[in-house]
């Protein structure tokens, strides 16, 4: 089915089961290819009016969708997941064009989005309540779960498909009607997913999508009393604005915000495994992953061996267009991001860090019009350097040595973030001790991958609140009601 090949057809908001007519250049947001600097497509530059119309459509569709049997909702969700798989190649091409990641990663993202959707199609059937022992013989206590209502879903540019699926699938499975607001830098993948949702047969108004001005659309979500829940993934800064704006209506929020993940290698670790995992995680999506490694802490006994192997691997990573099958790293999302990454590296070098590989922009030739950065390893990094404390969001691996467990834990727990941490050790006592003392929402031991549909993804401290994945993800979109019955 050639549903997604014409990018002009993605130039539309989706409201009440209809794709609005495409807008011309004047009323549009332009979407640029970060690898080539070329125009990829356009989407409407919508605002409060479009968001309001989408919320009204969702509110009208909500009661019937909430009453639809979970098993019947599951049929449509599974059809959506199936369509994602059937169109994985087209979705991947759109992802490469607007986001820049290598095709293989983009294809995996499309498949992963289907996996999430399929998983929640089933999980929606298990939104169990409880009966609770009463305190009087003539009483019965029931606890039921009900969908919150209209949910607004705001997504970032780094995983334009997965972020939509991770919010939309649990919301829809719970019985909510949704309005999606994708990132203005990568909206085309989200519109493509809306096209597939339309094809899957969700009733009109259950799924809506609005592109455009973030503050206007976000403002409408926060002000509109029909929006009962906002699920946001993005920067901590915008997350804080949403918390403030949610106060007036005490609106429910889930926030998946920035991270600063430590990767800790103890002296008894399997170094080859650790290097493999470090390269896989740190350079996935060109280092633009919220749970991506920010700093590698290697014990001083193995620092030299780890550094050599890591540098050797990183210096061989091929950078370029995501369409080239040998390429492991695409560009970073835009020039502003490129400047940020380079400024953090420059600051570290000025304060004594040593560049072992990379450390510069890639320019000229095939890199000429894109925002490319050389995969970088930095040694002699100090804890007080900026890049050890700020989210780098680029292909830069700083290395800091440590001497013992207490020292490394006090360093990594000092950050205001708390999303993920990675620990490499073969000592069972240490696995538990360190995992339990880390102030984060997720720990991976002897691996550096975390995102699966059945587990709760999310952070603590300024990395956010709420979880995506598992039954926890479904509960984010449900209210609990306690019913006391006197017989």
Q: Which is nearer to ligand NAP, 68 or 184 (CB)?
A: 184
Residue for token digits 């997350």?
Answer: 239
For ligand NAP (CB under 6 A), the number of binding residues is 28
Please tell me whether residue 52 binds ligand NAP under the rule CB under 6 A.
Answer: no
Is 156 an interacting residue with respect to ligand NAP (CB under 6 A)? yes
What are the tokens at 170?
Answer: 């649990």
Sequence-distant (≥ 6) Cβ neighbours of residue 304 within 8 angstroms: none
H-run or E-run covering 140: strand 139-147
252-256 and 261-265 strand pairing:
unpaired
Alpha helices, DSSP H only, in 178-253?
Answer: 187-200, 214-223, 236-246
Smallest distance, ligand NAP to C-beta of residue 192, A: 16
Of the candidate spans 113-121, 191-199, 230-238, 276-284, the one that interacts with ligand NAP by CB under 6 A turns out to be: 230-238
Whole-number minimum distance, CB 224 to ligand NAP, in Å? 13
Residue 416 has what DSSP assignment?
A: S
Q: Do the Cβ atoms of 68 and 248 come closer than 8 Å?
A: no
Minimum CB distance to ligand NAP smaller for 257 or for 298: 257
Q: Which is nearer to ligand NAP, 193 or 379 (CB)?
A: 193
What would the two tokens of residue 151 be? 């949910």
Q: Considering only residues 75-94, where is the footprint of ligand NAP by CB under 6 A?
A: none
Cβ(370)–Cβ(136) under 8 Å?
Answer: no
Q: Does 449 bind ligand NAP (CB under 6 A)?
A: no
Nearer to ligand NAP, 419 or 478 (CB): 419
Distance (Å, rounded) from C-alpha 265 to C-alpha 269?
A: 6
The smaller minimum CB distance to ligand NAP, of residues 49 and 64, is found at 49
Asked if 410 contacts 225 with a C-beta cutoff of 8 angstroms, the reply is no
CA distance 437 to 340: 32
Show the site string, 409-438: x = touches ligand NAP by CB under 6 A, - = not: ----------x-------------------
| Bridge partners (DSSP) listed for residue 333 | none
Give yes or no for a contact between 98 and 192, defined as CB atoms under 8 angstroms apart: no
Nearer to ligand NAP, 93 or 181 (CB): 181
256 binds ligand NAP (CB under 6 A): yes
290 is catalytic: yes
With H, G, I as helix, E, B as strand and everything else as coil, classify residue 266. Answer: coil
Q: Is 307 in the site for ligand NAP (CB under 6 A)?
A: no
Minimum distance between the CB of residue 242 and ligand NAP, rounded to whole angstroms? 6
Output DSSP code: residue 393.
-
Phi, psi torsion values for 21, nearest 5 degrees: -60, 145
Encoded tokens for 457 = 């993804």
Select from 41, 149, 258, 395 the one that contacts ligand NAP (CB under 6 A): 258
Which listed range, 130-138, 179-187, 295-303, 313-321, lies at the site for ligand NAP (CB under 6 A)? 179-187
Interface with ligand NAP by CB under 6 A: which range of 105-113, 251-259, 272-280, 401-409?
251-259
Q: Does 183 bind ligand NAP (CB under 6 A)?
A: yes
Could you tell me the CA-to-CA distances from 371 to 52, 243, 250 in Å, in that order? 36, 33, 41
Q: Does 473 bind ligand NAP (CB under 6 A)?
A: no
Given candidates 43, 97, 154, 261, which one binds ligand NAP under the rule CB under 6 A? Answer: 154
Terminal-to-terminal C-alpha distance of the chain: 58
Q: Would residue 256 show up in a list of annotated catalytic residues for this protein?
A: yes
In terms of DSSP H, where are the helices of 438-481? 470-475
Q: Which of 50, 111, 118, 256 is catalytic?
A: 256
Q: Which is nearer to ligand NAP, 294 or 376 (CB)?
A: 294
The distance of closest approach from Cβ of residue 23 to ligand NAP in the complex, given in angstroms and rounded to an integer, is 16
259 near ligand NAP (CB under 6 A): yes
Taking CB positions, which residue lies at the least distance from ligand NAP?
A: 218
238 touches ligand NAP (CB under 6 A): yes
Interface pick for ligand NAP out of 102, 112, 234, 359 (rule CB under 6 A): 234
Backbone φ and ψ of 153, nearest 5°? -120, 115
User: What is the number of H-type helices and E-type strands within the chain?
Assistant: 15, 22
Q: How far is the CB of 387 from ligand NAP (least distance, A)?
A: 15
List C-alpha distances in Å: 366 to 35, 37, 93, 372.
Answer: 9, 11, 19, 10
Active-site choice (290, 391, 468, 476): 290
* Binding footprint of ligand NAP on the chain (CB under 6 A): 154-158, 181-185, 214-215, 218, 233-235, 238, 241, 256-259, 290, 391, 419, 459, 463-464
Catalytic residues: 256, 290
């Amino acid at each position: 089915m050639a549903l997604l090949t014409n990018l002009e057809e993605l130039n539309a908001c989706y409201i009440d089961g209809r794709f609005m007519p495409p807008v011309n250049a004047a009323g549009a947001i332009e979407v640029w290819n970060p690898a080539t600097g070329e125009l990829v497509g356009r989407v409407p530059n919508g605002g409060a009016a479009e968001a309001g119309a989408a919320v009204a459509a969702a509110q009208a569709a909500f009661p019937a969708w909430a009453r639809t049997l979970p098993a019947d909702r599951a049929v449509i969700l599974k059809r959506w997941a199936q369509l994602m798989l059937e169109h994985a190649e087209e979705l991947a091409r759109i992802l490469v064009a607007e986001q820049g990641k290598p095709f293989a990663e983009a294809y995996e993202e499309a498949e992963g989005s289907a996996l999430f959707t399929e998983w929640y199609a089933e999980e929606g059937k298990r939104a169990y309540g409880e009966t609770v022992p009463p305190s009087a013989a003539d009483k019965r206590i029931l606890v039921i779960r009900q969908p919150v209502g209209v949910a607004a879903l705001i997504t970032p540019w780094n995983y334009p498909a997965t972020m939509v699926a991770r919010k939309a699938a649990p919301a829809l499975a719970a019985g909510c009607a949704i309005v999606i607001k994708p990132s203005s830098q990568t909206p085309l993948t989200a519109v493509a997913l809306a096209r597939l949702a339309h094809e899957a047969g969700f009733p009109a108004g259950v799924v809506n999508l609005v592109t455009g001005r973030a503050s206007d659309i976000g403002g409408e979500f926060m002000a509109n009393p029909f929006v009962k829940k906002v699920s946001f993934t993005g920067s901590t800064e915008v997350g804080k604005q949403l918390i403030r704006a949610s106060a007036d209506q005490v609106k429910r929020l889930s926030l998946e915000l920035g991270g600063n993940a430590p990767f800790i290698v103890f002296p008894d670790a399997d170094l080859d495994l650790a290097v493999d995992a470090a390269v896989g995680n740190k350079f996935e999506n060109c280092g633009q992953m919220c749970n991506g490694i920010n700093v590698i802490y290697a014990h001083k006994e193995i620092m030299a061996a780890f550094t050599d192997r890591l540098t050797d691997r990183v210096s061989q990573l091929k950078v370029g267009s995501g369409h080239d099958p040998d390429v492991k790293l695409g560009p970073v999302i835009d020039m502003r991001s490129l400047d940020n990454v380079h400024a953090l590296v420059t600051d570290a070098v000025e304060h004594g860090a040593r560049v072992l590989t990379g450390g510069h922009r890639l320019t000229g030739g095939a890199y000429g019009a894109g925002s490319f950065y050389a995969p970088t390893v930095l040694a002699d990094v100090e804890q007080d350097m900026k890049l050890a404390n700020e989210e780098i969001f680029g292909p830069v691996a700083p290395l800091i040595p440590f001497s013992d467990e207490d020292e490394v834990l006090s360093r990594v727990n000092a950050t205001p973030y708390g999303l993920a941490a990675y620990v490499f050790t073969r000592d069972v006592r240490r696995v538990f001790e360190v995992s339990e003392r880390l102030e984060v929402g997720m720990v991976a031991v002897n691996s550096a991958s975390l995102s699966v549909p059945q587990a709760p993804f999310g952070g603590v401290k300024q990395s956010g609140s709420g979880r995506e994945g598992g039954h926890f993800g479904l509960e984010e979109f449900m209210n609990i009601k306690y019913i006391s019955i006197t017989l």
